[in-house]
Amino acid sequence: MIQVLFVCLGNICRSPMAEALFRHQVKQAGLAHVIAIDSAGTGDWHIGHPPHQGTRDILDKNQIDYKGMQARQVTSDDFVQFTYIVAMDESNVRNLAGFAPAPVAGEKRASIHKLLDFAPGRTNKDVPDPYYTGNFQEVYEMVEESCARLLAFIIEKEQLS
Ligand code: 4NP
């Protein structure tokens, strides 16, 4: 199984949106049995909470399922369990480093990416945080496009087609 973990700060706005959208895209591509998806936050404020109302509204509007999703915090084990860790912005990447376990010789670790690195042509490489901007529509469009590109990247890299 290929495992993909989306990471943001609170795990209630951006990374749950990416988790739900990417799961939808993976299902549509007929790859749900090969790619497992989760999300987590580097912060601990919202552990156990459902996605933010703004994220729920936009997912509902686009008929994307997010049933049962609950925020959790990143763990050091995530670096070993997951194949890809996909962060929403540069500060997430910096914060993630603080959760990385001590190196173990020969142990395979997740490769760490930023979501917008998969969207060529965008000058902004950080997904803006709608918790502060309130613009969930803008973030939805960015996440949808970048997740589709991420899926194409994984299909090629893991030779899934
Ligand atoms: P997210 O947005 O990282 O996209 O989930 C945030 C959610 C909550 C907080 C910050 C950002 N917070 O400070 O509670």
Tens digit of each residue's pLDDT (9 = 90 or more) over 24-52: 999 999 999 999 999 999 999 999 999 99
Ligand 1: centre distance to CA 9 (Å): 5
Determine if ligand 1 sits within 6 Å of the CB of residue 23. Answer: no
Tens digit of each residue's pLDDT (9 = 90 or more) over 76-101: 999 999 999 999 999 999 999 999 99
**What is the total count of domains within the chain?**
1
CATH number, domain with residue 62: 3.40.50.2300
Determine if ligand 1 sits within 6 Å of the CB of residue 131. Answer: yes
Domain that holds residue 140: 2-157
The span from the CA of 128 to the CA of 142, in Å, is: 10
Bridge-partner residues for 2, per DSSP? 35
Determine if ligand 1 sits within 6 Å of the CB of residue 133. Answer: no
The span from the CA of 159 to the CA of 153, in Å, is: 10
Tens digit of each residue's pLDDT (9 = 90 or more) over 115-134: 999 998 888 899 999 999 99
CB 37 within 8 A of CB 2: no
Tokens 């509902």 belong to 60
